Amino acid sequence: MKIVATLRRLADRIARTSSLRITLLAILSAMVVGAFIIILSDIDKLKNGDILGAVHTVGSAYWALVVGSFGSLRAISATINSATPLILCGVSVAVAFKAGLFNIGATGQMLAGGMAALWVGFSMDGPVIIQVPLAVLAGAVGGAAYGAIPGVLKARTGAHEVITTIMLNNMAGFLVLWLLKTNMFQRTDRTDPISKLVAAPGRLPRLFGFMDNRPDLVAHAGFIVAILAVIVYWWFLNRSTSGFEFRAFGMNADAAQYAGMHTKRLTVMAMMFAGAFAGLAGAAEVLGTYGYASQNFAGNIGFDAIAIALLGRSTPLGTLLAALLFGALQAGGRQMQVDTDVPIDLIVVLRALIVMFIAAPLLIKSIWRIKVSPTSLGQTFKGWGS
């Protein structure tokens, strides 16, 4: 009897922590819609009336998603590897959100940080214990410098960061392309834009490097950097004076100014922090995953990070969990594409649907007919300024 009571209390408690329930239901809803998309897009089978076959595809696709993300040590390593830059960029967007700023520029900052880390990585030949941290640090500095630009522009001229960061993203892409063709970066004996290699000791060590004969376990120490970044973010937000000022500024800029905070300095600082975290993501990709830089090593990570920060409500733990979820989807999606004929792009749809459903608790409430207190994600964007 006692066990039943405990279970009931536990169930009660889960029911009351509505945000967890909403998250789970949102993921479930997204999977249901995703299933419909898989079935309806299978037009050849549907034309032949093979509805069962189409439904069967859904099962094997979702099964591959699970197996590919958590089914084996290799899958877990792939999940960790995919999640690493997502965590760092997620924190980047989140820290800006906390200060009331919208950092769309994580892509550009990641590129800047990655190139800085790369340069230290291949041009220095020092002891590993110094060189690797220095290269990672260079990534943070590069990202912070690039992130400072929209911060300074906003503080000095009021130029909206949504525009400036989009423009800086595009510019960073071309700058990287150009740099990769200069003698300083381009790999000798290559004509395409691809950088020199970082020598093996200069790279971030692999997490499972202690296991012999498992080169397929690609996860690297960038994950530890990412976890540390989340802890730093938590500490900064909740334990430091600047973090308090950030939150105050983000909640009500006028009040913060009235209370004597230097709002211009806060703007620049917030964008610099955001840039530093994104720069670390670039360093992790270049020094850990690839060992070199190609034209588009930042991919879509900067944009995924926006969804992650929104999903995690910009809190440290929430951002971490959201990034792990997205990383798992990424790793599982690759497996899904190999095992079934369902393209990996499905996971972009799933991510979008998850964000949409989580953002609209009232919708989840009416779909699943449950009672929850309507916790909203809160306002992330305070209009275009005045």
DSSP-derived secondary structure letter, 291:
S
Nearer to another protein, 197 or 367 (CB): 367
| Residue 153 lies near another protein (rule: CB under 8 A) | yes
| Residue 181 lies near another protein (rule: CB under 8 A) | yes
CB of 285 closer than 8 Å to CB of 114: yes
Taking CB under 8 A as the criterion, the residue among 163, 228, 259, 338 binding another protein is 163
Q: CB count, 10 Å around CB of 176?
A: 26
Percentages helix, strand, coil for the chain (3-state, rounded to 5) are: 70, 0, 25
What distance separates the 2 farthest-apart alpha carbons in the chain?
Answer: 75
Within 13 A of 362's CA, how many CA atoms are on the CB side?
1
Nearer to another protein, 86 or 135 (CB): 86
Tell the smallest beta-carbon distance from residue 169 to another protein (Å): 9
Instruction: Please state the φ and ψ torsions of residue 283, each to the nearest 5 degrees.
Output: -60, -40
Taking CB under 8 A as the criterion, the residue among 112, 310, 325, 331 binding another protein is 310
Residues 346-365 interacting with another protein (rule: CB under 8 A): 346-353, 355-356, 359-360, 362-363
Nearer to another protein, 21 or 45 (CB): 45
Taking CB under 8 A as the criterion, the residue among 55, 66, 167, 199 binding another protein is 167
Within 8 A by CB and 6+ apart from 216, the residues are 74, 77
Collapsing DSSP to helix, strand or coil, 129 comes out as helix
Instruction: Please state the φ and ψ torsions of residue 220, each to the nearest 5 degrees.
Output: -130, 175
From 129-137, 177-185, 204-212, 240-248, span contacting another protein (CB under 8 A): 177-185
Give the containing element (helix H, strand E) for 382: none
Residue among 306, 280, 320 at smallest CA distance from 135: 280
| Residue 177 lies near another protein (rule: CB under 8 A) | yes
Within 13 A of 206's CA, how many CA atoms are on the CB side?
19
Residue among 327, 324, 318, 282 at smallest CA distance from 302: 282
| Residue 164 lies near another protein (rule: CB under 8 A) | yes
Tell the smallest beta-carbon distance from residue 36 to another protein (Å): 12
Tell the smallest beta-carbon distance from residue 252 to another protein (Å): 15
| Residue 377 lies near another protein (rule: CB under 8 A) | yes
| Tokens standing for residue 370 | 């449950």
Tell the smallest beta-carbon distance from residue 350 to another protein (Å): 8
Nearer to another protein, 184 or 228 (CB): 184
Taking CB under 8 A as the criterion, the residue among 158, 183, 188, 239 binding another protein is 158
Residues 216-275 interacting with another protein (rule: CB under 8 A): none
Spatial separation of the C-alpha atoms in residues 53 and 58, rounded to whole Å: 9
| Residue 341 lies near another protein (rule: CB under 8 A) | yes
| Residue 166 lies near another protein (rule: CB under 8 A) | yes
Note the residues at the interface with another protein (CB under 8 A).
37, 41-44, 102, 153, 156-160, 162-164, 166-168, 170-171, 174-175, 177-178, 181, 303, 306-307, 310, 341-343, 345-353, 355-356, 359-360, 362-363, 376-386
